[in-house]
């Protein structure tokens, strides 16, 4: 973003003599693109523009006008310009040039506008003028306690304390103390800056703590805004506390507040330096084999490096899903000893059939392997849905890890708000092949835009956590595999043949994959599988190759392999999808067949799918799995999936798998999903069918 104050006027020669008729006109208009995903300029024309109230940068050039003139000119704000909220650079010029406008934030709850008119140097008005409108701001009342935004609690020890409260509002407000709260005092140093002082506890105080509150309430147009700050003073301290294991804490206090004077002693197993969990989170584990996640009120309080032994006081803290939220290190973390290491608490597990049993634990998975060992750990800049820009707080991308002992987990590498942010190692190298040990933390991850449901996931901390060799026997033997490395897509027809094994893959709509053809084509998009770990950004032709179903128009499509004999569902649900065939004659009774695939849909494409198996296209099919498909512009649902086939598939000469649409929802991932009515696309990035010992 260029600073308006640093902009230079681009002027040229006058294209006529002083005797020629005066002219001044706008030849082009350009507005700033969205900043950090936020659209600032709502609309712009050669006659003006509309802008949001919270610009955030008064030196950002919002709209630039290219001017054509043969005279001197200057900008005049007609009718005044209160507080100079609208700025033009330059305010005068000569001949051709560029005129840029910047706008300050509008803190008021009313819209404002200004008229900027261009005059010639002789003082006569030109025909060029700009009407600039800025939207009204919403009423707000925000509290900061000791610099923490939206804090709701101020705690102090028995000797008393001082806290600074800052109130930010664009309207009037009142504040009062709760009844009986004479033991703390409020002094307003200046407008919006309040000092909170707490008296020492009196001698012989016979309770564990005393509590009070400060109530803030808006006035007039802000009357609906209410905020409350709890003030807590406690006689309890860690000095008289009892050491307890994390396992005991979880057994006794999960889902409620710790109302006993207890503390734990454990090892920090998360790695803030490699940035693979949010900066405000820390995972502590002890020798009981259990762990707790601490989410700090402020990320600056999380200074504890991996392998540090710490004591954590838990009195008056709520335990929910093995997590302590709104955590502050100031009064709760004691006696840190760095460099102890994690060897004494790490758990070795042989399967992933019940990963939730190891929540917030550092584990070493034996005989693990990457389901699709193609590309980097975090292989692309996947964005949150453009229909719901607040769906997730970071650009996170999953890769599927499976264990030879059974089961699988989605492994997440933190991307950060941009592709350069987040984990330090996500692009460092390509995924290794083979099988071996994989170390990381099993955690919960919120899975929908409302953050109401949870998914158990796996997070590596660094490259050293991956001990899978580049070469070595895999725990899974691939029966048939379809993946597509970079290749020349210029020929009219590209054959789809297995990378390994024998079998077929096709769309239900077509078995011919002619690249320019509408019915089915190869599509080059963002990188699911990188072939070069040094490429950090989205590229096109040599990164992610997938098959595209084009228009999925349902069982009435003339070329559908599923129609007319197999209309799988009623009510207009499509049933279109993908068909994979293979032989399972060499799969033994003590082995298990699994199918893994990578998929995405367009915003108008289908979201809900099921997986069926049968012995022929004309025979009976049984459904054994279901999944929700990701919108390729989003990250609400991870795009890699793995399912185990029923045991009766073992030994069959011919297996037909169908990945088919089975729902009315689209993959737009908005808060309200509109119905899928055909015409959208679904894309398949790869399929692998494997077997392994149970």
pLDDT in the model for residue 694 = 86
Separation of alpha carbons 279 and 273, rounded Å: 9
pLDDT in the model for residue 269 = 98
Closest CA to 407 of 365, 347, 440, 379: 365
For residue 35, pLDDT over 90 is answered with no
Tokens standing for residue 429: 């190298």
Strand 162-169 and strand 141-145: pairing?
antiparallel
| Higher-confidence position of 150 and 657 | 657
Separation of alpha carbons 443 and 454, rounded Å: 10
State the average pLDDT over residues 22-47.
91
- The DSSP call for residue 34 is P
Q: What are phi and psi of 199, to 5 degrees?
A: -70, 150
For residue 2, pLDDT over 70 is answered with no
Residue-wise pLDDT tens digits, 440-468: 999 998 654 444 567 899 999 999 999 99
Close Cβ partners of 36 (under 8 Å, ≥ 6 residues apart): 417
What is 304-321 written as a DSSP string? --TT-EEEEE-TT-BBBT
Beta strand residue intervals within 269-426, DSSP E:
281-285, 291-296, 309-313, 323-327, 333-337, 347-349, 361-370, 397-403, 408-413
Distance of CA 357 to the CA centre of its chain: 25
**Segment of 64-78, 140-154, 396-410 carrying the highest mean pLDDT:** 64-78
Q: Which domains does the chain have, with CATH numbers?
A: 4-134 (2.60.40.10), 141-234 (2.60.40.10), 238-337 (2.40.50.140), 477-693 (2.60.120)
What is 588-636 written as a DSSP string? -TTEEEEEEEEEEE-TTSB-EEEEEEESSTTS-EEEEEEEEPPBTT--S
**Segment of 224-228, 410-414, 518-522, 616-620 carrying the highest mean pLDDT:** 224-228
Closest CA to 132 of 117, 149, 120: 117
Residue-wise pLDDT tens digits, 347-361: 999 999 999 999 999
Beta strand residue intervals within 451-530, DSSP E:
454-459, 477-482, 500-501, 504-507, 521-525
Q: What is the dihedral of CA 459, 465, 470, 475, to 10 degrees?
A: -60
Separation of alpha carbons 423 and 612, rounded Å: 38
Alpha carbon of 585 to those of 211, 435, 572, 615, 648: distances in Å?
A: 71, 25, 37, 12, 12
Residue-wise pLDDT tens digits, 178-227: 999 999 999 999 999 999 999 998 888 877 778 899 999 999 999 999 99
Separation of alpha carbons 168 and 154, rounded Å: 18
Tokens standing for residue 138: 């919403």
pLDDT in the model for residue 34 = 84
């Amino acid at each position: 973003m260029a600073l308006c104050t640093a902009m230079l006027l681009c002027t040229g020669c006058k294209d006529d003599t002083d005797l020629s008729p005066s002219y001044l006109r706008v030849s082009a208009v350009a507005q700033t693109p969205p900043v950090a995903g936020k659209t600032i300029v709502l609309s712009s024309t050669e006659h003006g523009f509309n802008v949001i109230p919270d610009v955030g940068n008064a030196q950002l050039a919002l709209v630039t006008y290219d001017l054509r003139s043969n005279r001197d000119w200057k900008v005049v704000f007609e009718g005044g310009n209160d507080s100079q909220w609208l700025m033009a650079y330059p305010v005068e010029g000569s001949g051709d040039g560029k005129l840029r406008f910047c706008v300050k934030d509008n803190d008021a709850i009313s819209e404002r506008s200004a008229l900027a008119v261009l005059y010639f140097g002789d003082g006569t008005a030109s025909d060029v003028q700009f009407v600039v409108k800025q939207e009204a701001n919403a009423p707000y009342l925000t509290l900061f306690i000791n610099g923490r935004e939206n804090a709701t609690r101020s705690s102090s020890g028995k000797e008393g304390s001082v806290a600074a409260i800052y109130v930010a509002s664009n309207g009037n407000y009142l504040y009062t103390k709760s009844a009986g709260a004479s033991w703390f005092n409020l002094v307003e140093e200046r407008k919006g800056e309040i000092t909170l002082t707490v008296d020492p506890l009196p001698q012989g105080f016979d309770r564990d703590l005393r509590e009070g509150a400060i109530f803030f309430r808006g006035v007039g147009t802000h009357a609906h805004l209410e905020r409350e700050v709890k003030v807590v003073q406690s006689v309890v301290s860690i000095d008289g506390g009892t050491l307890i294991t994390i396992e005991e804490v979880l057994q006794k206090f999960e889902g409620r507040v710790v109302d006993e004077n207890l503390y734990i002693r454990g090892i920090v197993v998360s790695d803030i330096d490699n940035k693979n969990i949010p900066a405000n989170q820390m995972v502590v584990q002890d020798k009981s084999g259990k762990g707790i996640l601490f989410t700090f009120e402020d990320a600056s309080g999380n200074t504890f490096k991996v392998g540090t032994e710490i004591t954590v006081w838990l009195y008056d803290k709520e335990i929910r899903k093995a997590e302590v939220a709104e955590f502050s290190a100031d009064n709760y973390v004691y006696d840190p000893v760095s460099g102890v290491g994690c060897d004494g608490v790490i758990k070795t597990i042989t399967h992933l059939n019940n990963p939730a049993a190891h929540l917030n634990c550092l584990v070493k998975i034996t005989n693990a392997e990457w389901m699709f060992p193609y590309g980097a750990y975090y292989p692309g800049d996947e964005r949150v849905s453009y229909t719901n820009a607040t769906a997730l707080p970071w650009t996170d991308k999953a890769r599927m890890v499976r264990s030879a002992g059974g089961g699988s987990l989605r492994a997440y590498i933190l991307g950060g708000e941009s592709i350069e942010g987040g984990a330090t190692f996500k692009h460092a190298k390509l995924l290794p092949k083979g099988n071996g040990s994989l170390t990381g933390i099993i955690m919960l991850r919120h899975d929908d835009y409302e953050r109401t449901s949870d998914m158990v996931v796996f997070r590596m901390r660094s490259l050293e956590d991956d001990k899978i060799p580049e070469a070595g026997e895999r725990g899974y033997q691939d029966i048939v595999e379809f993946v597509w490395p970079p290749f020349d897509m210029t020929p009219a027809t590209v054959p789809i043949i297995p990378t390994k094994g024998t079998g077929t893959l096709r769309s239900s709509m077509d078995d011919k994959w002619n690249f320019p053809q509408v019915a089915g084509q190869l599509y080059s998009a963002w990188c699911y599988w990188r072939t070069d770990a040094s490429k950090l950004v989205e590229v096109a032709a040599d990164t992610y190759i997938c098959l595209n179903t084009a228009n999925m128009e349902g069982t009435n499509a003339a070329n559908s392999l599923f129609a007319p004999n197999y209309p799988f569902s009623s009510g207009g649900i499509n049933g279109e999808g993908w068909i994979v065939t293979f032989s399972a004659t060499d799969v033994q009774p003590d082995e298990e067949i699994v199918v893994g695939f990578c998929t995405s849909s367009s915003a108008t494409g289908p979201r809900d799918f099921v997986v069926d198996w049968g012995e022929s296209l004309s025979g009976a099919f049984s459904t054994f799995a279901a999944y929700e498909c990701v919108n390729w512009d989003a990250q609400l649902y991870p795009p890699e999936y793995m399912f185990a086939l029923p045991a009766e598939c073992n030994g069959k000469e011919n297996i037909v798998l169908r990945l088919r649409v089975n729902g009315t929802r689209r993959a737009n991932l908005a808060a309200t999903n509109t119905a899928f009515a055909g015409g959208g696309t679904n894309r398949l990035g790869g399929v692998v069918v494997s077997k392994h010992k149970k």
